Homo-oligomer: A and B are copies of this chain.
Amino acid sequence: MKIQSKNLESIVQAFSDLPGIGQKSALRIAIHMLSQPREKIDYFISSLNSVSEIKRCIHCHNLSDGDICAICQDKSRNQSLICVVENIQDIMAIEETGQYRGGYHVLGGVISPIEGVGPEQLNIESLLDRVNKGLVNEIIMAISPTIDGETTVYYLSKMLKTSQVRISQIARGVAFGGELQYTDEITLGRSILARLPYAVNGND
């Protein structure tokens, strides 16, 4: 794109470097910015400046404004129950359900030989620390059901074998609201093998 203003070009460049924003969207955003009052832009800039104030929770590696995140600080939650997730988006997704009142542990990814991610690059040591301190009763593995995810769960379960902690995994099967005929064969096949006794109120 031919942009006559060098300043505008640098704004377009800055936005198009962001994930999911192409040249055209970046231009649209930049032109939108031009029409904004200066206070709006200053507010935007001050938000960006606060990036450096965002920390990682020393317990669970969730994002946090202080050393310990809001979830780890929450006394009303069962802190001896830990849900192991890949990233903070997963925490947000689980929190969104309103079904979980325990703690978390963010691995920061999954073991992936192809992408060169080994166990030592993930927050596994700190998870074992929490377990070894006797702070944990149960660990729920909420890891994506991919080959790398399965490998990671297997690795973690081996590392946790000697501890007294109970290990569980989130249920897998046909999605609610999904139609059987459109469910992929692996999911459908496994959901038959892993069938549960019927109860009127689900698992209650």
Residues of B within 8 A of A31 (CB): 87-89
* Contact present for B71 and A4 (CB under 8 Å): yes
By secondary structure, the A interface counts as helix
* Contact present for B51 and A1 (CB under 8 Å): no
Interface residue tally on A, bucketed by range? 35 or more
Interface residues of A (CB under 8 A from B): 1-8, 10-11, 13-14, 18-21, 25, 27-29, 31-34, 36, 38, 41, 43-45, 47-54, 62-65, 69-71, 87-89, 91-92, 95-96
* Contact present for B47 and A1 (CB under 8 Å): no
Residues of B within 8 A of A7 (CB): 47, 50-51, 53-54, 65
* Contact present for A10 and B50 (CB under 8 Å): yes
Task: Select A41's contact among B1, B10, B48, beta carbons within 8 Å.
Answer: B48
